[in-house]
Amino acid sequence: MRLFAANWKMHKTRGEARAFAEELGGEIGGGIGGAELVVAPPFTALEAAGDPSGRWSLAGQNVAAEAGGAFTGEVSAAMLADAGCRYAIVGHSERRRLFAEDGPVLAKKVARCRESGLTPIYCVGETTEERDAGLTAVTLVRQLDALNGDPASLPLVVAYEPVWAIGTGRSATAEDCGNACVHIAEILSDRRDLRILYGGSVTPGNAAELLRARRTDGFLIGGASLSAASFAAISRA
Ligand code: 13P
């Protein structure tokens, strides 16, 4: 089953999320065959973005590394599960870069997801500098290290999001995307249930071409997921 996940980042109030949910429901009718849809709204809009008839599921955009306690501003995996989430995004490049999240803390976040039955959408991807220096492959290996302690029998989603493609309008080519996704699959060859997504300037215009990339099972979509019509169009690709 292909997976299409909308990462809204810090966009949309509850009212806007409700309007999106209504419009998305109209767009997809009974659902899109062969495609699983996920929406990752801000925490405050989780309830508003949900679908009572279950045609899409919810994800947290982030999750605390601790299970609970005195951690002002954090939201735990158990809280996300209680709010209806099936997934949590872990290690998005914006979290890595702007909030200094790295391997050890990300490994803890993955472990907290498992304790609450959430499936992590674990993000990896090289920067422009790493790419130009020929370090894409070693970067992926290093970032995937955080999954070493995670049981290989559990379902896992990995999103390949090259930093240079995020929000730039310059997506990876299907060839680059396929190469990276195949490499990720090789590194994680012991996993029994692994889906690999691509993320970075995916639009309705390039989705079909990118979906032809080798070992690519869907997308993690930022900007183009803010419109229900364009999120549905990408998911129909
Ligand atoms: P864009 O689709 O806006 O490039 O964002 C990608 C992304 O970061 C999804 O997590």
Atom of ligand 1 nearest to the CA of 9: 10
Q: Separation of 188 CA from ligand 1 center, angstroms?
A: 23
How many domains in the chain?
Answer: 1
Question: For residue 174, what are the domain limits?
Answer: 2-235
Which residues lie with the beta carbon below 6 Å from any ligand 1 atom? 7, 92, 161, 166-167, 199-202, 220-224
Give backbone dihedrals phi and psi of 7, rounded to 5 degrees, phi first.
Answer: -105, 105
Mean pLDDT by 10 residues, the chain (237 residues): 98 98 97 96 98 97 98 98 98 98 97 98 98 97 98 98 98 97 98 98 98 98 98 97
pTM of the predicted model, to two decimals?
Answer: 0.98
Q: Considering only CA atoms, which residue is closest to atom 9 of ligand 1?
A: 222
Q: Separation of 69 CA from ligand 1 center, angstroms?
A: 32
Check residue 42 and give its pLDDT. 98
Q: Does residue 2 contact residue 218 with C-beta atoms inside 8 Å?
A: yes
CATH code of residue 21? 3.20.20.70
Check residue 146 and give its pLDDT. 98
For the annotated catalytic residues, the residue numbers are 92, 161
Residue 144, CA distances (Å) to 73, 108, 180, 191, 228 in order: 27, 13, 13, 12, 32
